[in-house]
Amino acid sequence: MRWVRVVLPLLVVLSLVLTACGTPSPTINLQVRSDAFDNGGFIPTRYTCDGEDVSPPLTWSAGPPETQTYLLLVRDPDAPGGTFIHWVLYNIPRERTTLPEAVPPLPQVEGIGMQGTNDFGPDVIGYRGPCPPPGKAHRYYFTVYALNATLSLAPGASARAVRKAMKGHVLTEGTWMGKYKR
C-alpha cells in the first residue's frame, strides 16, 4: 500500500509534464450548420425530390492546421434497404469552409471539389435530396470530415471507394442533421 502513496503522485506529475510538453489534446469536432434548416429540423421541400432537388448551403468551422482537404457525405440511415448515400463530395480545398446552395451535379466543380456517385444509381453524381417512401420521417446526416490528405481518386468515385480511401486520414468531423417525410 505504501508504493501506491509513492507511485501515484509520480504518475500525476508525469501526466502534467507530458500535457505541458505538447501531448496532443482531444480532437475538437467541426461545427457544421446550414442556413436552410435547423439541426434536427425538417429539410425544406426545395432541397428534396419533391422540390427543386438542389443541395442546401452548408458552413463548417476550420479543421486543425494539418487539414489538407474536406470531405462531405450525406446519408440516410433510415432507408428501407439500409444506409443510403445521397451525396459524396471529396477533395474540398482546405481553404473552403462553405458550400453554396445548388452545387452543380458534375464530377468536378471548380473551387469546390470532386463529386462521387450516390446510391441513386451507378452513374448518378452529385447531390440528390431526400426522397423517402411515405410514412415515418427519415434522418439525413450531413457529415463533414477534415482529412490530412488529398484522396487519390478520380472524379466520380463511388461512396465505397471514398470511404475506403479516407480511412486513416480523418482528423476530425462534424454533423448537421435534417429530417424529411412524405
Q: What's the rounded Cα separation, in Å, for the pair 75 and 63?
A: 21
Beta bridge partners of 55: none
% of the chain surpassing 70 pLDDT: 85
Whether 5 is in a domain gets the answer no
pLDDT digits (tens, 9 = 90+) for 88-124: 999 999 999 999 999 999 999 999 999 999 999 999 9
The Cα diameter of the chain in Å comes to 72
Provide the pLDDT for residue 59. 98
Edge-first strand order for the sheet with 170-180 is 108-109, 113-115, 84-93, 69-76, 138-147, 170-180
Query: Is 15 part of a structural domain of the chain?
Result: no
Domain of residue 99 covers 26-180
Whether 21 is in a domain gets the answer no
Q: Round to whole Å and give the CA distance between 43 and 92.
A: 24
User: Does 14 fall in a domain?
Assistant: no
Residue 9 domain-assigned (yes or no): no
Range 30-46 average pLDDT: 98
Model confidence pLDDT, tens digit, residues 114-129: 999 999 999 999 999 9
Residue 34 counted as domain residue: yes
Exposed, middle or buried by CB within 10 Å (0-12, 13-18, 19+), for 158? middle
Q: What is the pLDDT of residue 14?
A: 38
pLDDT band at 27 (very low <50, low <70, confident <90, very high): low
Which CATH number characterizes residue 130's domain? Answer: 3.90.280.10
Give the predicted TM-score (pTM) of the model. Answer: 0.85
pLDDT band at 57 (very low <50, low <70, confident <90, very high): very high
- Domain assignment of residue 7, yes or no: no
Residue 18 lies inside a defined structural domain of this protein: no
User: What does the block give as the cell for 147?
Assistant: 482529412
The tally of domains found in the chain comes to 1
